[in-house]
Amino acid sequence: MEIRFSPNRSSDADTLAYAVKSDGLAQLSTVPGLEATAALARFAGECGASVESFAEVDGAARRVVLVGIGAGNDAEMERAGAALAARLLTSGARHAAVSFEAAGLASAAGIARFAFGAKLRGWRIERYRTRMPEKQKRTLERVDLVTGIDASAEWAHLSELAEGVMFTRELVSEPANVLYPESFVERCRPLEALGVTFTVLDEARMAELGMGALLGVAQGSARKPRLLAMEWNGTGDADAKPVVLVGKGVTFDTGGISIKPAAGMEDMKWDMGGAGAVAGTMRALAGRKAKARVVGICGLVENMPDGNAQRPGDIVTSLSGQTIEVLNTDAEGRLVLCDAISWAQATYKPEILIDLATLTGAMIVSLGHEYAGLFSNDDGLAEQLTAAGQKAGDPLWRFPLGDAYDKLIDSPIADMKNIGGRFAGSITAAQFIKRFVEDGVKWAHLDIAGMVWAEKPGAVWDRGATGYGVRLLDRFIADTAEG
Within 13 Å, how many C-alpha atoms sit on residue 115's CB side?
33
Residue 138 is among the residues annotated as catalytic for this protein: no
Residues 6+ positions from 421 with CB-CB distance below 8 Å = 408, 428
Spatial strand order in the sheet of 293-303: 197-201, 226-233, 293-303, 243-253, 352-357, 442-447, 372-376, 396-398
Q: Which is catalytic among the residues 94, 142, 224, 260? A: 260
| Gyration radius (Cα) of the chain, Å | 24
Angle of CA points 198, 445, 181, to nearest 5° = 35
What's the distance, CA 267 to chain centroid? 17
Residue 334 is among the residues annotated as catalytic for this protein: yes
Q: Which is catalytic among the residues 119, 334, 434, 475? A: 334
343 with 355: CB under 8 angstroms? no
- C-alpha separations of 437 from 229, 355, 430, 431, 444 in Å: 18, 11, 11, 10, 10
248 with 337: CB under 8 angstroms? yes
417 with 410: CB under 8 angstroms? yes
What's the distance, CA 475 to chain centroid? 12
CA 435 – CA 451 distance, rounded (Å): 25
Label the pairing between strands 142-146 and 50-57: unpaired
473 with 245: CB under 8 angstroms? yes
- C-alpha separations of 282 from 44, 70, 192, 286 in Å: 41, 33, 10, 6
CA 339 – CA 210 distance, rounded (Å): 9
Which one, of 81, 74, 66, lies nearest residue 123 by Cα? 81
Which residues are known to be catalytic? 260, 334
